[in-house]
């Protein structure tokens, strides 16, 4: 299989009018591309949202690298305010214009292209998983949540997961965020004599 052109794939995805929760052809495009490269693809649609789970390798392998992204975009608003049509994927002066070019069809395209090149040219000792949702920009209740439930019920897991959201404020790579394993909200009541951390001896819990 020839190398995947990430820029060309980004343009193809931009041309898919995938305004939440409309799939717009984006996931069909990715499913066809990944299936051809040997990924096992499963649609995990829920409600009126389309999602895609794709894995290369076996689900029992102890080393699995995952990627989570989305192909849905926010509404375009007044089309007359756009310098270039939102779904035309206009390339001008080295810049690709269109709805979702940054958030995050380019990220999805880059990872899909890299994943396909990786497993076809240098097959890893491990597995690669992609979870792509169509419900990130909306209520986000039938997207990643549905994919995680699917993984739980089918015994799928990721050792590590990269979320390719655009978080770099100035230039590529200037910000990386480390996600938490989870969170917990609690309410508690403390009794005693309050104090200040500078004078801990004056505080007395009861």
Which pLDDT tens digit goes with each residue over 98-148?
A: 999 999 999 999 999 999 999 999 999 999 999 999 999 988 899 999 999
Active-site hit among 12, 23, 31, 72: 72
The pLDDT, as a whole number, for residue 55 is 97
Q: State the pLDDT confidence band at 187, using cuts at 50, 70 and 90.
A: confident
Is-catalytic flag, 139? no
Is the predicted pLDDT of residue 194 greater than 90, yes or no? no
Cα–Cα distances in Å, from 23 out to 27, 112, 191?
A: 7, 18, 54
User: Pick the residue with more confidence: 104 or 188?
Assistant: 104
User: Pick the residue with more confidence: 130 or 61?
Assistant: 130
DSSP E strands in the chain: the ranges are: 40-43, 51-56, 64-70, 90-92, 95-97, 127-133, 160-163, 192-193, 204-205
Q: State the pLDDT confidence band at 65, using cuts at 50, 70 and 90.
A: very high
Active-site hit among 23, 31, 136, 142: 136
CATH of domain 6-180: 3.40.630.10
Is the predicted pLDDT of residue 181 greater than 60, yes or no? no
User: Pick the residue with more confidence: 140 or 180?
Assistant: 140
Task: Judge whether 154 and 53 are in contact, CB under 8 Å.
Answer: no
Task: Tell me the angle at which helices 6-14 and 106-121 cross, rounded to the nearest 10 degrees.
Answer: 140
pTM of the model: 0.82
Is-catalytic flag, 72? yes
Q: Please state, in angstroms and rounded to a whole number, the distance separating the CA atoms of residues 133 and 97.
A: 22
């Amino acid at each position: 299989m020839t190398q995947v052109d990430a820029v060309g794939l980004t343009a193809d995805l931009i041309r898919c009018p995938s305004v939440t929760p409309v799939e717009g052809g984006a996931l069909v495009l990715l499913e066809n591309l990944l299936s051809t490269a040997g990924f096992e693809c499963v649609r995990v649609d829920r409600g009126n949202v389309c999602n895609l789970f794709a894995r290369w390798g076996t689900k029992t392998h102890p080393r699995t690298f995952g990627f989570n992204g989305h192909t849905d975009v926010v509404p375009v608003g007044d089309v007359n305010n756009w310098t270039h049509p939102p779904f035309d994927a206009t390339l001008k002066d080295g810049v690709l214009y269109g709805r979702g070019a940054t958030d995050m069809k380019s990220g999805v395209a880059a990872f899909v292209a890299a994943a396909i090149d990786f497993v076809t040219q240098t097959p890893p000792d491990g597995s690669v998983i992609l979870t792509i949702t169509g419900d990130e920009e909306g209520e986000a209740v039938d997207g990643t949540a549905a994919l995680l439930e699917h993984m739980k019920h089918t015994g799928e897991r990721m050792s590590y997961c990269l979320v390719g959201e655009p978080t770099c404020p100035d230039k590529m790579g200037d910000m990386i965020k480390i996600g938490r394993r989870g969170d917990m909200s609690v309410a508690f009541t403390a009794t005693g004599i309050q104090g200040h951390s500078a004078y801990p001896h004056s505080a007395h819990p009861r």
